[in-house]
Structure 1
Amino acid sequence: MTLRSESADRVAVITGADSGIGRATAARLARQGMDIGITWHSDREGAEETAAEVRSLGRRAELEQMDLTRLPEATEAVDRLADRLGRLDVLVNNAGTGTATPYLDIDHATVRQVLDVDLVGPFLCGQLAARRMIAQGDGGRIINVTSVHEHQPRVGAAPYCAAKGGLGLLTQVMALELAEHGIRVNAVAPGEIATPMTGQHDTDVHEEERPGIPLGRPGDAREVAAVIGFLAGEDSAYVTGASWAVDGGMLRMGPMAGSHLESHSWRRP
């Protein structure tokens, strides 16, 4: 297997890159010298804005619509982007959805939708990416964006937690099976990040108070993108099968405490 140098042109495909963590990741990987494939579900305008930012950094950007409730055909967007950009070195499975519905009230259709978008879709996209990377012969990176709920539960998020927990363990199996091909597979598990998905638009995270999070604030999407950038680069060449929490210490408290405590009294014995 011939290893590709960090300075050579590389291509990353990022699902759900029309806003939030996906957009921040696109910009981060473009700054690292990669051309970027962008998928979007319903926000084409947002995807175009991401592409414009990538191009302003001197890199190529291509777009594809992807609806992961339409499987398996939706995942073909990964192949189409790789075809147009010439290859595929990094896949970031970032697209996701969730619910805020009690376990006893949730319907089958919603469960199926969340599992398809958050687990089955990344499973199939990862297969397409890995097969292409193996054919190229010089390895690659797959990064699955999970959540702190890969590790700990949250009330009202049963299918989301099931999907993210499954994606975390899938990441470990992928890492074991793909290592011989030089493909490293890791998960990134964000806590509360100020993005449209969490209802926080243009939020200055340093002005927000979160008593139940040890660092005392939500995270910025660029802070998650920085960890993804590390995992996508050569500095992480000996890292595979790991889950990287980017959560301000939330997992040390438990996500329920991290988002619901209203004072800092826990900091004192």
Structure 2
Amino acid sequence: MNFVNEFQGKKVIVTGAGGIIGGWIAEAFAREGALVCLTDRSLERIENRKASLDGKGHLALAADLTDAASLIAFADHVAKAWGAPDILVNNAGIYPSGFLLDISFDDWDAIFDINLRAPFILSQLFAKQMIAAGKGGSIVNISSGAARKMRTTVVPYCTSKTALDRLTKGFAIELAEYGIRVNAVEPGFAAGSDVSALTQDHVSNVTASIPLGRASSAADVGAAVLYVSSEAAAYMTGATITVDGGNSIGSQVVFQAKKKAL
């Protein structure tokens, strides 16, 4: 999709920018001429990512998404450097595994702090900046098919993403009068990175079960986030776009078995 310089000079915040999906999103906006503020807990990681982006004027600011004071300081830093952002992408998330009978209280809290509480706090802080600037804006939450399909050993993650979808709709309805649109994107399976390493066997097994037969790519995720942030989606708010190769609708292995049975 050609956005015809629509994002040129726009100010975009991407949380979890040190990870694979956050990096893809940051790169997509940078290629379109946007100024990108990358945030993650590791300053070194996002500094390296910033150095790889097209263009100049990007920011790399470390923040602890589990700490409200750190998020407030981060929002203040952005305001001083840029003024109100145009787009906020709440991408950061964690995916620890464990059965409900075994998961610790601290792990439960960490999942909800990063996957739900941080998007709430940052959306509130930056929405207030957008409102004060009187220019509207876009908030995009990175959700997951796990919001609709329960998965054994990652129930807290699934629950946090279901809540994030409801939070997306809540902010959408309350911020609409200010011209701020709030939507969610559900990316597909990503094959891992230095931040979230996966074995080749695991990648192969998961990819084989996806109806379209491949993992998600930078182009898939980037295009979806750019679209919901663009004027082409100006009448879209409170929506969730699924870009996962059909993974959330069923397993290709099951489809093949049924086909053989026929």
**TM superposition shift of 1:154:** 0.7
* Paired-residue identity, %: 35
Q: Following superposition of structure 1 onto structure 2, how do residues 174-213 of structure 1 map, counting pairs within 5 Å?
A: 174-196=171-193, 198-200=196-198, 210-213=207-210
SS at match of 1:67: coil
Question: Matched residues in 2 for 1:192 and 1:72: separation?
Answer: 33
Q: 1:201 to 1:50 in 2, by over 3 A?
A: farther
Deviation (angstroms), 1:71: 2.5
| Whole-angstrom distance in 2 between the partners of 1:67 and 1:21 | 19
Question: What does the per-residue CA deviation read over 1:37-78, in whole Å, with 9 as the maximum and x for residues that have no partner?
Answer: 110113x33211221122xx2231111111112234334313
1:94 matched residue in structure 2: 91
Whether the 8 Å contact between 1:212 and 1:263 is mirrored in structure 2 is no
Task: Tell me the distance in 1 between the aligned counterparts of 2:40 and 2:161.
Answer: 20
Unaligned runs of 5+ in 1: none
1:116 counterpart SS class: helix
C-alpha distance in 1 between matches for 2:248 and 2:102: 27
Find the counterpart in structure 2 of residue 77 from structure 1: 74
Question: Is the aligned partner of 1:232 residue 2:224?
Answer: no
- Residues 1-269 of structure 1 correspond to what in structure 2 (within 5 A)? 6=6, 9-42=9-42, 44-54=43-53, 57-196=54-193, 198-200=196-198, 210-253=207-250, 257=251, 261=253, 264-268=256-260, 269=262
Partners of 1:247 and 1:83 lie apart in 2 by: 37
> Contact (CA 8 Å) 1:187, 1:241: kept in 2 or not?
yes
State the Cα distance separating 1:139 from its structure 2 match. 0.5
Q: Which amino acid aligns with 1:30?
A: A
State the AA in 1 paired with 2:130.
M
Q: Distance in 1 between matches of 2:73 and 2:34?
A: 21
Paired residue type of 1:20: I
User: d(CA) in 2 for partners of 1:236 and 1:101?
Assistant: 38
CA drift of 1:209 comes to: 7.0
Q: Higher mean Cα deviation, 109-118 or 145-154? A: 145-154
Shift of 1:262: 8.7
- Cα deviation, 1:138-183, whole Å, max 9, x if unaligned, reads 1100000011111211111111111111001100111111111000
Query: C-alpha displacement at 1:225, in angstroms?
Result: 1.6
Deviation at 1:265, TM superposition (A): 2.6
Shift of 1:208: 8.1
Moved more, 115-124 or 20-29: 20-29
Equivalences, count = 254
Deviation at 1:200, TM superposition (A): 4.4
Q: Are the aligned partners of 2:65 and 2:118 in contact in 1 as well (CA < 8 Å)?
A: yes
| Gap change, CA 1:7 and 1:187, over 3 Å in 2 | closer
Q: Which runs of 5+ in 2 are unaligned?
A: none
How high is the TM-score relative to the length of structure 2? 0.88
Give me the TM-score of the superposition, normalised by structure 1. 0.86
**1:267 positional shift:** 4.5
Q: Is the 8 A contact 1:219 1:247 kept in 2?
A: yes
